[in-house]
Amino acid sequence: MISRDRARTIVEHRRFQQIIIWVIVVNAVALGLETSSSVMDATGALLHVVDRVTLAIFVVELASRLYAYGWRFFRDPWNVFDFLIVGISLLPASGALSVVRTLRVLRALRLISAFPAMRRVVSGLLASVPGMAAIGALLALIVYVAAVMATMLFGDIAPEFFGNMGTTMFTLFQIMTGESWPEIAREVMGAAPLAWIFFVVYILVSSFAVLNLFIAVIVSSMERQVADDLVEVEERHAADQAASDRLVLEELRGLRTEIAELRAAGTREPGVEDTAAFLTSQGRWAAMSVYTSADDGEPLKAAVVAVLREFGIEVAAELPPTRGSWAQRFWAKLRNSDAAGGLQTRLKKVEQALELQQIGKAQADIDKSKSDAVAVLLEAVGQQDEVVIRIGSLAIVKMAGKVAVWTISESKAAELDASGDLLGRPAQVLAFLQNLDSQDAVALAGETGEEPAGDDSAGRA
């Protein structure tokens, strides 16, 4: 037997609610078709089956919600509304209760509870009832006073319209709606020419003033309903933000705990590399490095960062670059911590894009902006004499006009990263990679001795 939490997750799922909405629509259409004798003669049995099946679905859905929420189900007025509608449908429709069969069409009203926009409209109307009651009392008073005056003034002139209080009030209601009032007024004005004053004043007061007050009250209630909904949305957003802040604080507490442990162990004060090593070990950061024999490697690093950014990765921390032969180590993380797939999955996509670009293969599953960023990176590599780039477990090495792209196991990548000087020596890096087993390193494209695709050195795609 499924738990209440699991049942609540099911009944609150968007797909489940969409199915119920479609069942309500189908049931409403079937009930409408039952009013046609020709359709009933042709498909009456099918329509009865549809009616029974939709009713069974409603009962199962209502029972599921009752089980999921327990007695809290009845705290929501819309749940009570659905309960009453389905309950009426279950009453026997024969004998003295045959009129109940007509009430089956009330099931179509469940669309109100299924659509939030409709619920807001109805809630606004219900919230405006107290204000409308006061306006209704004012309108009744105006009609009563006008009825007394009209009966006294026009009772003898047009007794069919103003002969007594009941007839006069009905006539005034008709005039208030604007129905046939010119004919009534002209008949009275034939005997009392100044009677137009009464009719004009009455219509102005009842129709244009009082009835518009009803609209004003309803609109005001709807505005309050929308404002309440906005407040609820803001509160939900604030709650989500608070939850996100709590996660950040927990991570900070974890880092502080780690720092305290390092201090207690008598080690040196942790710096950027210690923090980076800790976060890298947890898979939240990935180590990167860029080396070029040129004096300025900023353009090359910018090309690497641009590729990472295209794949949803950003620089989290970095060490100052060394000059002469330019080199810099840095660390990257996901730009969005909730992104699907995780950091390693994104790095695998970078690896795939680089491999495909290097060998000049079409990239059907990589959009143009990513492909262009990778092409710019390989072009920047081609403009250098010697290059060593490490992106997580990916290594790009250029020397003697040749470019090689390798993927390395995590353990060997960490070993390569630990020997910082090695990253600035392309020949030693290439030898290090070639001496590894196939389980630890694989050449993806442009092995030593191969010319890179495209230009003489750039590997453009």
Full DSSP string of 165-217: HHHHHHHHHHHHTTSSHHHHHHHHHTT-GGGHHHHHHHHIIIIIIIHHHHHHH
The pTM score is: 0.40
Q: How far apart are CA 326 and CA 324, in angstroms?
A: 6
Sheet strands side by side (includes 313-318): 313-318, 327-334, 286-292, 387-391, 394-399, 402-408, 441-445
Q: How far apart are CA 179 and CA 173, in angstroms?
A: 9
- Tens-digit pLDDT profile for residues 59-94: 898 888 888 888 888 888 878 888 888 887 777 655
At 448, is the pLDDT very low, low, confident or very high (cuts 50, 70, 90)? very low
- Tens-digit pLDDT profile for residues 350-393: 877 777 666 555 454 567 788 888 888 888 888 888 888 888 77
**What is the DSSP-derived secondary structure letter of residue 322?**
B
Q: Is the pLDDT of residue 452 over 60?
A: no
Q: How far apart are CA 412 and CA 415, in angstroms?
A: 5
Neighbours of 338 (CB within 10 A): 6
Helices (H), 265-367: 272-281, 298-310, 342-359
- Give how far Cα 141 sits from Cα of 127, 147, 173, 253, 352, Å: 23, 10, 13, 70, 81
Parallel, antiparallel, or unpaired for β 313-318 and 286-292? unpaired
- Where along the chain do its domains lie? 4-114, 115-270, 283-445
Contact 412, 441 (CB under 8 A): yes
What is the arithmetic mean of pLDDT over 173-196?
Answer: 88
- Tens-digit pLDDT profile for residues 111-140: 777 777 777 777 777 777 887 888 888 888
Q: Which of 68, 53, 67, 63 is nearest to 23 (CA)?
A: 53
- Tens-digit pLDDT profile for residues 257-293: 878 777 666 544 556 776 777 777 777 788 888 888 8
Q: Is the pLDDT of residue 454 over 60?
A: no
- The fold adopted by the segment(s) 115-270 is Helix Hairpins (1.10.287)
Residues in the chain: 461
Contact 175, 208 (CB under 8 A): no
**pLDDT in the model for residue 103:** 62
Neighbours of 175 (CB within 10 A): 23
Q: How far apart are CA 349 and CA 7, in angstroms?
A: 38
Q: Is the pLDDT of residue 459 over 50?
A: no
CATH for 4-114? 1.20.120.350
Q: Token pair for residue 16?
A: 């489940």
Helices (H), 70-189: 77-89, 110-114, 116-127, 129-154, 159-162, 165-176, 181-189
- Say how many Å lie between the first and final Cα of the chain, rounded: 58
